[in-house]
Amino acid sequence: MAVRSFRAALNEALHQAMAADPRVILMGEDVTGGKGGDGVEDAWGGAFGVSKGLLGAFGPGRVIDTPITESAFVGAAAGAALTGLRPVVEIMFVDFLGVCLDQLMNQAAKFRYMFGGRATTPMVLRATFGAGARSASQHSQALYPILTHIPGLKVVIPSNPADAKGLLIQAIRDDDPVVFLEHKMLYDETGEVPDRPYATPFGEARVVREGGDAVIVALGRMVGRAEAAARTLAAEGIQAAIVDPRTTSPLDHGTILEYAEETGRVVVVDEASPRCGMAADIASLVAERAFDALKAPILKVTPPHTPVPYSPVLEDAYLPDAARIARAVRRSVAHRAARGGRA
């Protein structure tokens, strides 16, 4: 057990997975990290430093720099997976999904189904996502609802270093295509991470915090903000539980419903755009399956339905923050008091 950054936890997962299984390969733009300069290799370990050291450890046959052509290398990864490799392919920003969506949506995601269960596609597509880095609207989106919508894909959104490692190892061991989304503002977050390899299963939420007054469901970077909100609320006497689904596909219905029923008040925090997003999806789940337990309307805390602003002031205002989350929980709790609702 050691304290590691989110970035280092991912790096360790890749090292351990590649050491354990020679079928695991890494592909993407600049994954060899600075190769191409005169005599310079692995100078900075990829665009975000995640693949540092892998070229030296596993060589250019398994750590492969690609041209700037997502359509080609994501397609190549899907084909490689079909033929028995376990590629981990990186697109730098999930925003670039558009140029390789057919390879993912119509090919990788469909192979098992279209071939009658006789083909598997054990590929992982890693990408950064999320706002806060002053990267403007084409490099800051949280597109996981689009991916979650596609049957045949698994979608993973780690919120902390320990989960990042365990979920990435599970993604690599999984026989289906997995989209693994790394919030670019979490790379320097630290936490305790076990040294040895371990796999964290998909479809199991993490209960971040217990609390009987309300439950906050939050993903990715929003988990930390929900925790900050819960600390503020606790000082006011409001105990909010926090559930982090960890994967949006599969989604852990059981834990979300358990806490919805236990607390009767649900606040969903989602960094994705509000229309057809995860907040709406989770709210509909609770409305359908836990309606009788609800003491207040389900509340969503999301950005407005706009592109991510480039102006730092506007970008900060765009994102849900701890204050907004806390306000939503207070509103939910006050709803019962105002109406003298069910106990």
Partner 1 sequence: MSRIAAVTMPKWGMTMTEGRVAAWLKAEGDAVEPGEDLVEIETEKITNVVEAAEGGTLRRILVAPGQTAPCGAPIALIAGADATGAELDAVAAGGAVAAAGTAAAERRLVTGADGIGLSVVTANGGAAGVPVVLIHGFASDAAVWMFNEDALAAGRPVHAVDLPSHGASGVRAEATGIDALAAAVRDVAEALVRGGPLHLVGHSLGGRIALRLARGMGGRVRSLTLIAPAGLGSGVNAGFVQGYLAADRRRAMRDALRMLVADEASVTAEMVENALAAKRIDGVGEALAAIAAQTLSPEAAASGLDDLAAMACPVLILWGAEDRVVPPAAGVGATRIESAGHLPQMEQAARVNALILAHVGGAE
- 15 part of the active site: no
> E strand or H helix at 268, and its extent?
strand 266-269
Please give the residues from 229 up to 288 whose contact with partner 1 meets the rule CB under 8 A: 235, 241, 254-255, 258
Minimum CB distance to partner 1, residue 271 (Å)? 23
Name the residue among 127, 129, 125 with its Cα closest to residue 139. Answer: 129
Residues contacting residue 24 through CB under 8 Å, at least 6 positions apart:
17, 18, 62, 85, 86, 87, 88, 172
Among 121, 200, 248, 249, binds partner 1 (CB under 8 A): 200
- Residue 305 lies near partner 1 (rule: CB under 8 A): no
Piece of 123-131, 190-198, 273-281, 287-295 that binds partner 1 (CB under 8 A): 190-198
Nearer to partner 1, 263 or 273 (CB): 263
Which residues in the 1-30 window bind partner 1 by CB under 8 A?
1
- The correct pick among 207, 228, 287, 293 for binding partner 1 (CB under 8 A) is 207
- Answer for which of 37, 39, 118, 196 binds partner 1 (CB under 8 A) is 196
90 is catalytic: no
317-321 CB contacts, 8 Å cutoff, 24+ apart:
318/131, 319/131, 319/132, 319/271, 320/222, 320/225, 320/269, 320/270, 320/271, 321/225
Q: Which of 79, 194, 250, 274 binds partner 1 (CB under 8 A)?
A: 194
DSSP-derived secondary structure letter, 37? B
Q: Under a CB-based contact definition with an 8 Å cutoff, are residues 78 and 124 in contact? A: no
Least Å distance, CB 35 to partner 1, is: 31
Residue from 102, 175, 192, 316 touching partner 1 (CB under 8 A): that is: 192
Structure tokens at 78: 């899907």
Active-site positions? Answer: 70, 139
